[in-house]
Amino acid sequence: MSTWDRFAETFFNAKVMHRYLPDILSGVVVTIELALLVVATGIGAGLALALLRSLGIRPLNWLIIGVVDLFRSLPPLVVIVLIYFGLPSAGLAPSGFVSTWLSLAFVLMAFSEEIFWAGITSVDRGQWEAARSTGLSFGQTLMNVVLPQAFRLAIPPLTNRTIAITKGTALGTVVAVTEILGQASSAMSNSYNPSPLMMGAAAYLVLFLPVVVAARFIETRFAWKR
Amino acid sequence: MVCALQAVAGRGPRRPRRAYGFMNGPMVDARAVHKHFGALHVLKGVDLRVAERELVFVIGPSGSGKSTLLRCLNRLEEPSSGSVVVDGIDILDPRTDINHARQRIGMVFQSFNLYPHMTALGNVTLALRLVAGKSRGEAEALGRAALERVGLADRAGHTPGQLSGGQQQRVAIARAIALEPRVMLFDEPTSALDPELVGSVLEVMRALRESGMTMIVVSHEMGFARNAADRVVFMDAGAIVEEGPPAAIFERPAHERTRAFIGQIQRH
């Protein structure tokens, strides 16, 4: 048996791969569900917080900054563990799936709030003044003049952050979420063979490469001719 | 920054209040306007009355408060005290719907401030749709007419980045006049322009003046002031030092400070 054969036998074992393919595929479904939920709620909540912050109500802003800084500094894994093992003592018992979703959504909310806020504040003051001088209200100016420009600035860092945090769905393994990595590692221990892990890696590539490409497409779409 | 802008903003939609009733007052009537920025006393009791169809030029050294005065007239800056009445509407009354009132007060900025993500037509029609309540079709017709007036009908589909500085400023003027304001405020409209582009903007302003628009212009375009202005106001250190017809202010200034300032800018 050549070295290459031994390598292939270990990492790309056709029999093992065939056997555990259904498990990996069900893991892909869970990962997609989790990722979509995290992205929708995390970015939605982040944008909502940034808009609330633009109202300039000081005590509210302190609260927003506090929450955002907290979730930006905690490792997502710690948040998952806290929610999964901590909330039951408060009478709530979220599943591993819900714990992972909430944790990653909070973290993405925190980062996207900062990104949206940075976008909003970097729009030139003159844009506000011009719009207000024609009679647009604060809200109309924010929605029609400032946010479209803020989005354009926010999209590259936002897509980066979204991809990084969405990959964090793999952290769900520690609280028994049967997503890709969870399925792959249990298949690996059951088969005494790392091939399922390779399948898991392939599944992540298949899932996230299109996201990265889509992000690039969105970035070019939102750029306007200067 | 946004918080500061909020302070500038009027809140709550309310009907404009006519301070003059049916009397025929001046178009702009600012009295004893003071403005403090913290410890800085920028406007020290300025009185400015501008009649309908009058073109008033405001000149003065930088930091003299002329831009701040202009911005107090549409409440982009909230005066610390005093009163501002424009077209019979008390601009500083908290019951005044400032967003409604601002439609009557067009403003043009030194840095154009066009919306970079919209076409020229989009820039001009935004407030027509959102504030004046026009339908998209009506707004576009009015917007095209406004662009026509500034000589840019053929640039309606261009974004600001595709236009020269002079063209951008003319779009900004179109954006303001499309709302059919009663008075136009110009805050150094040609200062950011290359010399060869200044003429086209001044030409539009001259046409606007001939159409009977009431205008207050902060600018150092002396040539334009000389043959278009009805009155020149010289400000220094937050107060009006003297005012009068352009010839009088430029040729025979009464005050030493005016003489020094005029001498300085004419040397350039």
What's the pLDDT tens digit per position in B178-232? 999 999 999 999 999 998 899 999 999 999 999 999 999 999 888 899 989 999 9
Q: Could you tell me if B57 and B217 are in contact, meaning their C-beta atoms sit under 8 angstroms apart? A: yes
Contacts of B189 in chain A (CB under 8 A): none
- Residue A179 is predicted with a pLDDT of 87
Work out the minimum CA distance from A145 to partner chain B, whole angstroms.
7
Worst-scoring range by mean pLDDT, A175-189, A193-207, A210-224, B190-204?
A210-224
- Alpha-carbon distance values, A77 to A58, A92, A101, B256 (Å): 31, 19, 12, 73
pLDDT band at B268 (very low <50, low <70, confident <90, very high): low
The shortest C-alpha distance from A212 to chain B (Å) reads 25
Provide the CATH number for the domain formed by A27-177 in this structure: 1.10.3720.10
Instruction: Please say whether the beta carbons of B106 and B185 come within 8 A.
Output: yes
Inter-chain Cβ pairs, chain A and chain B, closer than 8 A: 96
Give the one of B99, B109, B131 whose C-beta lies nearest to A130's C-beta.
B109
Instruction: Count CB neighbours of A186 within 10 A.
Output: 17
Q: What are the sequence ranges of the domains in chain A?
A: 27-177
Q: Where are the beta strands (DSSP E) in B55-205?
A: 55-59, 81-86, 89-90, 105-108, 183-187
b/e for B24-54, b at 16 or more Cβ within 10 A?
ebbbbbbeebbbeeeeeebbeebebebeeeb
DSSP state for residue A92 in the 8-state scheme:
-
Crossing angle between the packed helical segments A58-73 and A14-54, to the nearest 10 degrees:
160
Per residue in A28-81, pLDDT (tens digit) is: 999 999 999 999 999 999 999 999 999 999 999 999 999 999 999 999 999 999
Q: Tokens representing A133?
A: 């001088």
Kindly report, residue by residue over B94-113, the tens digit of the pLDDT: 999 999 999 999 999 999 99
B contacts of A128 (beta carbons < 8 Å): 2, 5
Is A138 within 8 Å of B6 when comparing Cβ atoms?
Answer: yes
Residue A88 has pLDDT above 70, yes or no: yes
Query: Minimal Cα–Cα distance from A70 to chain B, Å?
Result: 24
Q: Does the interface ipTM go beyond 0.95? A: no
Give the H or E element holding residue A104.
helix A96-122
Instruction: Quote the CA–CA distance of A125 and B173 in Å, as a whole number.
Output: 19
pLDDT digits 0-9 by tens, B148-163: 999 999 999 999 999 9
Contact B126 A128 (CB under 8 A): no
SS3 B243: strand
Tell whether B12 lies on the interface with A, counting CB pairs under 8 A.
no
pLDDT at B22: 42
| A129 has a pLDDT exceeding 80 | yes
Q: What is the pLDDT of residue A178?
A: 87
Say what the pLDDT of residue A92 is. 87
Query: What are the C-alpha distances in Å from A126 to residues A133, A178, B132, B246?
Result: 10, 51, 22, 31
Q: Cite the beta strand spans of chain B per DSSP E.
A: 28-37, 40-50, 55-59, 81-86, 89-90, 105-108, 183-187, 214-218, 231-236, 239-244
* Closest Cα in chain A to B72: A133
Chain A, window 93-122: residues with a beta carbon less than 8 angstroms from a chain B beta carbon:
120-121
Residue A70: partners with Cβ closer than 8 Å, 6 or more residues away: A110
Copy the structure tokens of residue A69.
């800084």
Query: pTM higher than 0.80, yes or no?
Result: yes
Range of weakest confidence among A179-183, B16-20, B74-78, B196-200 = B16-20
- Asked if residue B165 has pLDDT above 90, the reply is yes
The shortest C-alpha distance from A56 to chain B (Å) reads 5
Question: Which strand ranges, in their side-by-side order, compose the sheet holding B81-86?
Answer: B40-50, B28-37, B81-86, B89-90
Please state the rounded mean pLDDT for residues A116-128: 96
User: Tokens representing B101?
Assistant: 């009132």
- Per cent of chain B over pLDDT 90 is 84
pLDDT for B15 equals 44
**Tell me, what's the pLDDT at A102?**
94
Q: Looking at the predicted structure, is the pLDDT value of residue B236 above 80?
A: yes
∠ at Cα B214 (B106, B112), nearest 5°? 35
What is the per-residue pLDDT for B9?
41
pLDDT at position A219: 79
Taking residues A193-202, what's their average pLDDT? 91
Q: Is B107 on the interface with A (CB under 8 A)?
A: yes
Q: Which of A133, A138, A224 sits opposite B102 (nearest CB)?
A: A133
Q: What is the pLDDT of residue A25?
A: 92
Q: At B122, phi and psi to the nearest 5?
A: -60, -40
Nearest to A54 among B2, B132, B172 (CB): B2
Contacts of B176 in chain A (CB under 8 A): 133-134
Highest average pLDDT, of A2-6, A41-45, A149-153, A210-214, comes from A41-45
Minimal CA separation from B227 to chain A, in Å = 28
Rounded distance between C-alpha atoms, residue B173 and residue A11, angstroms? 69
Average pLDDT over residues B241-264: 92
3-state secondary structure B27-61: CEEEEEEEEEECCEEEEEEEEEEECCCCEEEEECC
Residue A59 sits at the chain B interface (C-beta within 8 Å): no
List beta partners, residue B86.
B28, B89
With b meaning 16 or more CB within 10 Å and e meaning fewer, what string describes B152-187? beebbebbbeebebbbbbbbbbbbbbbbebbbbbbb
B95 Cα to chain A: minimum distance (Å): 15
Task: Among B113, B116, B162, select the one facing A129 at the smallest CB separation.
Answer: B113
pLDDT at B20: 45
Give the range among A141-145, A212-216, B113-117, B141-145 with minimum mean pLDDT: A212-216
What CA–CA distance (Å, rounded) separates B55 from B231?
7
